[in-house]
Structure 1
Amino acid sequence: MMFFGTGLAVDAATIYTVKSGDSLYKIGKTYGVSVQAIQSANQIYTSLIYPGQQLTIPTAITTSDKDLLARLVYAEAKGEPYAGKVAVALVVLNRVDHPQFPNTIQDVIYSMDGGYYAFTPVANGQINIPADSEAKRAVEEALAFRGQGSGSLYFYNPAKTTSKWILSRPVTITIGNHVFAK
């Protein structure tokens, strides 16, 4: 079974029985899938779930993709607030889900535009530095919130950029030293 419109094309792999105290967010975070993907897989249109309910949990992204995304978050957002780390991960996931960009995490992270890598850590090799636990946690949270939020596709540090194009993009939020934009 394929799910479209969630950015995921996945096989339904797990049946989960809702327990008292569960929420779609908590379940999504546990399985590394978005709330939207769970809702779509189960044709749920609200956040209301009840104990005993059986939910189909779509297959999550691969461990290697999570690791790659966490390494990017670590390199791009070192020293930034936790919310900024989650937002960096969401930018990559938003790009995967957007028709203008490649449709895999790896292809988004290693993409090139005009002969330049889209993300500085790919160009300077910092993508190869192992992620810390906070970057890994930020990726899990971003996966749970995938498809929600402001839809940022870009981020930049205004003190370091000289790109007039990026400065022209509509700003969605500023967190720490990063400005996020569409």
Structure 2
Amino acid sequence: MFNWWKRSLITIASVTAGLVLLSPPAQAAIHTVVPGETLWSISLLYETTVDNIKTLNNFELDRIHPGQKLTVPEKEIKPVLTQEKTPASTTATDQSEPTPTQTQVRYVVQSGDSLYQIGLKYDTSVETIMNANGLSTTLIHPGQVLTIPSTTITTHTQTNTASRGNTRPGNNIVEIAERYLNTPYSYGGSGPSSFDCSGFTAYVYAQVGINLPHNAASQAEKGQAVAKSDLQPGDLVFFGYYGSSTIQHVGIYSGGNKFIHASSSSGVRYNSLAQDYYFKNYKCARRL
């Protein structure tokens, strides 16, 4: 009888010890999910299984998101794993997404300035300047102080581009004007569905922050006078009407002795300054 009780006690002790060894750890830790992690990578980090993490957190799907708190088995994270993860992520960011040095310049508006011209000077856009200064229109006045955002990277880009000799503001004006080729003419039209001549030039220049009156003769008073032999793309060219002494029509010089304008007979189109009508009625040109 004594031997039977002895064997029973030994059996019970063995089973109890086995249950203790197989029992999951009672303590748990909280892990905050970071971008790029998956349940599988987290399970490797804590030397457990995906199923175990899912069981601890009472969910069935494998989807997790950054910032999510997960219950994981308590375990000290090995320093080697941490070192391999963090520097690799930092290095990849540094190489693929360099951060330019941001600077701000205080600029006092001078007579004749426009947001477009200021943007060219500091290699930024009209929209960026407007946002930085809380402007709702492109109108500015002499003496006004503007904050101009700029970066060292865009400054280098400007230098390299300028060396190619193909970034004069007038080239941009012509490119914008060309977008509206074949747009119909309508008297008083100011775009973008239809234009008259001065409405067309005013609309195009407004895209680069230069405001012009909706009148050809008034536009001829803006900017600087340019000799016909010195015309450059983007200059405004003005015409009379069948020998009239007053200015009645305006277009944008595009180079090659051609200009783009809103013709009353055929809408926005190209014509040549050498054509008889425009040759005889040419009055002057202005550069803004």
Structure-1-length-normalised TM-score: 0.33
Bigger radius of gyration? 2
RCO higher in 1 or 2 (8 Å CA, sep ≥ 6)?
1
- Structure with more strand by fraction: 2
